[in-house]
Structure 1
Amino acid sequence: MELIAKATALVGGAVALMRRFGSPTHQAIGKEPQIPEAHKQGIMTLKMPVAQGWEDGHVPTCAPGLKVNAFASGLEHPRWIEVLPNGDVLVAESKEEAGPPKTLMDHAAQATMRRAKAIGTSANRVTLWRDADGDGVAETREVFVENQRQPFGMALIGTKFYLGNTDGIVLFDYTPDATSLSGTGKKLVEFKPHGHWTRSLIVSPDRTKIYAGVGSLSNIADQGMEVEEGRAAIWELDVASENARVFASGLRNAVGMAWEPNSETLWTVVNERDGLGDETPPDYLTSVKEGGFYGWPYSYWGDTVDDRVPQDAELVAKAITPDYALGGHTASLGLCWMPEGTLPGFGDGMVIGQHGSWNRSKLSGYKLIFVPFENGAPSGPPRDILSGFLSDDEKIAYGRPVGVTIGPDKKSLLMADDVGDIIWRVTGA
């Protein structure tokens, strides 16, 4: 497997270098992005840095006026974070568990992903971290729940705790200040596993609904639409009746979700399709409309048709154009609303954890960014909060940003780094 990974890196590096010539000189970012014409890659660009982690006091680079420290370390592929009302911090530790490779490309991709620590044996647990003295570093760690199936999203309503496993939403009873859950839980909703496996959760402002992001199985419905039924969507679970339905669709891989508090509008970040070029199409941040269709797999950025896919003209005509482009293949996963006053120098806006690209000649993402908001919508270019996760030559990843949330003190951000196996804490300097 290591030999395949090295060979893939050599071939992929050569292909990526070739494709740098003539690649876009700008990123497709903002409300009206310049999206280059699609260029079918055939053999997809496969370029991913080797996961190294942080050594000898090396930490991410902060924006001016900020500082960063490790809130928790020694985790096993931390992906998502939930802060409980008492200040306890829950971390979902899980990763993709690859199935048997079917093609040479599958072998190459899996070998590369293993070198990047993106696939492997999943810890399948949620741990609880407690910072009792409030110094910004957790002193205690407990196993909150284990033996799950790729747990990810978490939500608490009163004494009911909801966990988003890859195959469904599970409900547990929760006792305030408890450091663990008991029992096996009750499965409320069934989701199809595999493919884009993460299942993020968020509670509605009135605490009566839970929304779940369910990604597609494949890149562009490569195995047909039947197996994609119920996927590439955001689901809504009614807490009282325990009935669930698709709330919005055509979202290839909607992961992080957040509420814009003034209008109480749901927003999400979406990972778009691969194989059409470095900046085509861009990942995006968008508001989510009930019953809305956002194009996948037939089109992108509204009605731009992907002619690799058997078409449905009626759905393309209905496709909603996203609100804000985030650049091609940035793998924007984490999302939270950050109110003005949380970090010095930053107003209201969305914070986004960009896991980082693999399907482009020059890597993108590998940052924690901020998108300012005014009047309920993005109002300017993104700003870096944390960077420096990638070596200058793009060969080494020290870390990869994933989930992000406001810290218990409301004056910090917590961000999961699944290569560094760290939860970083960002505050004013």
Structure 2
Amino acid sequence: MQLSLSIFRILCFPGVGLSQVSILPKIVQIDSPQTHSIDPMSLPLPLITNSAKHKSQEIRQPPDATLNVPKGFTVNIFASGDPPNVFQKPRQMILAPNGDIFLSDTDVDGKVYVLRDHEMDGVADERFTFASGLIKPYGLAFNNGFLYVATTHSVVRFPYQFGDTRASADPETVVPLTEDDEGHTTRDIKFSLDGSEFFVGVGSSGDVLAAVGSTGDSLVEGDPLRAAISVYNVSGTDRQTFASGIRNPASLAVNPVNGELWTTAAERNGFGEDLIPDYATSVKEGGFYGYPYSYIGKNPDPRFAHDRPDLVDQGIVPDVLFIAHSAPLGMTFYNGTMFPKEYQGDAFVALHGSSDRQELTGYKVVRIKFDNGKLVKNEYEDFLTGWLSSPDDNKVWGRPVAVAVAGDGALLISDDGAKKIWRISYCGDKC
């Protein structure tokens, strides 16, 4: 195990006339990161343990804080939202064509920021507000001269030219989404590799809600967009349900090797400490992933299974299972060149952290291994940990939300607990 020294870094944002100091925690390099695997055939029975409401307590970064990464990697602060106000609820990120990082912020005056590393030293030294006044902006995508933003109620787009830092026009609505703010309000968007269509994920309107006897395109709720991933052509017309029965498809990702669509999903609460596992999975067109009638394949939900036994029988087992209540959010495939060859094409997922477990879990970024575009196995490996010092302690000082690959190949992690963007880079034996 190797330790690197904590450093002070001054982050200056001339665009808003402020400067601030953030303290980098001690970076610990781990020789053999822990791996996790949950067998879908060996799940516990429902309700054999209580579902504890053990919410984490978010605290300021403690003086002895550490962040743990695999050997050869290091961490620095790319951008900070510490007071005075810079950003408050950093969510999804995307690399712009010119190398800027666009960041959505779901605070009251929903904004999209531009973070620019002008000096190319791994720290954002300029910050601009590209757009504001949006309703909980979350997913971001670039396509054919536009920036697309998925908000709670609609997908909108702005004209974008290389290097733009402010929107040149008002948002244009591409597709309307849900009209209410019930349940899950995050919406992600991803384009197919050829840019001819885009996918939008919308979560359920509650923890568990079934529209018994629903007909037509809606298998779960009265609104066919809910608990499903929809696909649209590039103009926003001809909506089709791509897959359904996904309680909260919080993040979408397209495998750059084969164009396969992936999603993360947060599953139901109330079934016990170790049920129901959250997951990341490739998404089969026309597939049904269980919610709310079954879970992890054909395991029946005793509350609703009798309503739609036909759908219970169609339940698909997801590809990678996470410890229950981990709350997976952002997912991205690594397509940079900075990391070693064995990381090329792997997926990284941010686990936001639990609230329905006595022993807290999540609060970390994990790695899922791929080989030439194909999943290696149902297993994930710790990549960035440390925000949760002990599973028995409810104190956490950060909550990762999204992951993105920067132009130089570093991995960026947004953190809405610490209000920071962390940057993981590979330094080999030089750190």
TM-score normalised according to structure 1 size: 0.82
Q: Which amino acid aligns with 1:243?
A: D
Summarize deviations over 1:353-403 as a string: whole Å, max 9, x none.
000111111111111000111254332432211101113242211100111
The 8 Å contact of residues 33 and 325 in structure 1, kept in 2 or not, is answered as no
In structure 2, the residue matched to 1:425 is 423
Whether 1:200 aligns to 2:176 is no
The 8 Å contact of residues 261 and 283 in structure 2, kept in 1 or not, is answered as yes
The 8 Å contact of residues 171 and 188 in structure 1, kept in 2 or not, is answered as yes
Q: 1:51 to 1:189 in 2, by over 3 A?
A: same
In structure 2, the residue matched to 1:109 is none
CA distance in 1, matches of 2:113, 2:134: 12
Q: Which amino acid aligns with 2:77?
A: A
In structure 2, the residue matched to 1:91 is 103
Report the 3-state secondary structure (helix = DSSP H, G, I; strand = E; otherwise coil) of the residue aligned with 2:321. strand
Alignment of 1:155-234 (within 5 A): 155-192=141-178, 193-221=181-209, 226-234=221-229
Out of 383, 386, 395, the residue aligned to residue 384 of structure 2 is: 386
In structure 1, the residue matched to 2:346 is 349
CA distance in 2, matches of 1:37, 1:29: 18
Count of aligned pairs: 376
The 8 Å contact of residues 83 and 90 in structure 1, kept in 2 or not, is answered as yes
The 8 Å contact of residues 247 and 291 in structure 1, kept in 2 or not, is answered as yes
In structure 2, the residue matched to 1:404 is 403
For structure 2, the residue ranges without an aligned partner over 5 or more in a row are 1-34, 82-86, 213-219
In structure 2, the residue matched to 1:29 is 37
Summarize deviations over 1:58-80 as a string: whole Å, max 9, x none.
45222221111110001211011
Q: 1:354 to 1:340 in 2, by over 3 A?
A: same
CA distance in 2, matches of 1:232, 1:226: 8
Q: Which amino acid aligns with 1:209?
A: E
Out of 318, 323, 338, the residue aligned to residue 319 of structure 2 is: 323
Summarize deviations over 1:316-345 as a string: whole Å, max 9, x none.
112222112112111011100114854236
Summarize deviations over 1:274-324 as a string: whole Å, max 9, x none.
110122121111111111111111000111100122520111112222112
Alignment of 1:216-365 (within 5 A): 216-221=204-209, 226-240=221-235, 242-309=237-304, 311-339=307-335, 341-344=337-340, 346-365=343-362
The 8 Å contact of residues 31 and 323 in structure 1, kept in 2 or not, is answered as no
Alignment of 1:61-140 (within 5 A): 61-74=68-81, 75-94=87-106, 122-140=108-126
CA distance in 1, matches of 2:150, 2:336: 30
Q: Which amino acid aligns with 2:224?
A: E
In structure 2, the residue matched to 1:10 is none
The 8 Å contact of residues 88 and 128 in structure 1, kept in 2 or not, is answered as yes
The 8 Å contact of residues 157 and 172 in structure 2, kept in 1 or not, is answered as yes
CA distance in 1, matches of 2:288, 2:423: 36
CA distance in 2, matches of 1:228, 1:207: 27
CA distance in 1, matches of 2:369, 2:394: 31
Summarize deviations over 1:162-219 as a string: whole Å, max 9, x none.
1100111012211221101133312122222331111111111001111111011111
TM-score normalised according to structure 2 size: 0.82
Whether 1:47 aligns to 2:46 is no
Offset of residue 271 of structure 1: 0.7
Q: Which amino acid aligns with 1:148?
A: L
Q: Which amino acid aligns with 1:263?
A: N
Offset of residue 255 of structure 1: 1.4
Whether 1:146 aligns to 2:132 is yes
Summarize deviations over 1:230-277 as a string: whole Å, max 9, x none.
200111121146332321111100112222233221111111111101
In structure 2, the residue matched to 1:371 is 368
Offset of residue 424 of structure 1: 0.3
Q: 1:222 to 1:28 in 2, by over 3 A?
A: farther
Q: Which amino acid aligns with 1:221?
A: L
Q: Give the fraction of aligned pairs with identical amino acids, expressed as a percent.
A: 33
In structure 2, the residue matched to 1:113 is none
In structure 1, the residue matched to 2:9 is none
Report the 3-state secondary structure (helix = DSSP H, G, I; strand = E; otherwise coil) of the residue aligned with 1:315. helix
The 8 Å contact of residues 234 and 254 in structure 1, kept in 2 or not, is answered as yes
Report the 3-state secondary structure (helix = DSSP H, G, I; strand = E; otherwise coil) of the residue aligned with 2:287. coil
Higher share in helix: 1
